[in-house]
Amino acid sequence: MSHDFGARPPTLDGKSVRLRRLFGAPSGRALIVPMDHSVTTGPLGHHAHADQLAGVLAGAGADAIVVHKGRARHIDPYHLRSLQLVVHLSAGTALSVDTTGKVLVASVEESLVLGADAVSVHVNIGSPTEAQQLADLGAVAAECSRLGVPLLAMMYHRGLGGSPEGPRVQTLSHLAAIATDLGADVVKLDYAGDPASMNAVVDTCPLPVVVAGGAATHDDHAISLGTEIAETRVAGLSFGRQIFQAAEPERVAAALARRLHNRSESRSLAPA
């Protein structure tokens, strides 16, 4: 499904302006790099890793980073001239009895004070705390609407029962529908496994869909995976570990950015 913001009538509300910045490349797509994992799993490297990686990503052509509010204070604003700042509002740790639990640890207003261009919320469908996570998503969506801030909903089936039953397209489409119905502006999903299945998911969703990279593998696989996903009608990639745990993060990020943004290499985002 096409998500060409340039084709819509000009709008001066804050959310539209910020969405245009996030998907501001000529391709209308975005390479988003989540770096919020340290709350969940622990330090991602040297104390200055976030600032250093932000500089690398800005030079490589990435479009946005996702960090928690405290980590954002340790990133040189110089790097954010070309990178959009997405502040992550959800938290949970791998040390918890329930590793699927997520709580809100920041607000949209706090994020704006930091200079955020957008915010994100993580929702684990199937979690014992699913009801509260859904309520939090709805509440944040309302705050985003009031303040004119785009909301990225990171939607996963991560319940205690393990992998979801039934067709993967059906499950991912359901997650996208939840994000849409509760007021998100962009939805992040796992990869459906193949281009045709991913397109089938995208075609059910009116929101821009960005695809998660999953656990780190090796550099060439990350580029290959991103290239395959970029062949679909998704609005972008949200690759975190595949980039910041890469042997050569700049090479991987630059390759993925080129693949997303080079129209001569990309298929049309319009429905077939």
Q: Where are the beta strands (DSSP E) in 61-128?
A: 64-67, 84-88, 90-91, 103-104, 118-125
Both tokens of 131, joined, read 């009801």
Q: How many residues does the chain have?
A: 272
- Which residues on adjacent β-strands are paired with residue 3? none
Both tokens of 217, joined, read 């593998």
Question: Closest Cα partner for 35 from 61, 63, 72, 60?
Answer: 72
Query: Which listed residue (117, 185, 188, 191) is catalytic?
Result: 188
Residue 106 CA: distances (Å) to CA of 32, 110, 148: 20, 7, 17
Helical ranges in 148-245 per DSSP H: 168-181, 195-202, 219-230, 241-244
Q: Where are the beta strands (DSSP E) in 117-191?
A: 118-125, 151-157, 186-189
Decide if 226 contacts 211 (C-beta within 8 A). Answer: no
Question: Closest Cα partner for 154 from 171, 137, 138, 142?
Answer: 137
Is 36 catalytic? The answer is yes
Residue keyed to tokens 């045709």:
196
B/e letters for 78-89, b = 16+ CB within 10 Å, e = fewer, are: ebbeebbbbbbb
Is 188 catalytic? The answer is yes
Query: Which listed residue (156, 185, 190, 191) is catalytic?
Result: 156
Give me the helix-helix angle, 195-202 and 168-181, nearest 10°. 30
- Which residues on adjacent β-strands are paired with residue 238? 32, 212
Q: How far out from the chain centre does Cα 137 lie?
A: 15
- Point out the residues that are catalytic: 36, 156, 188
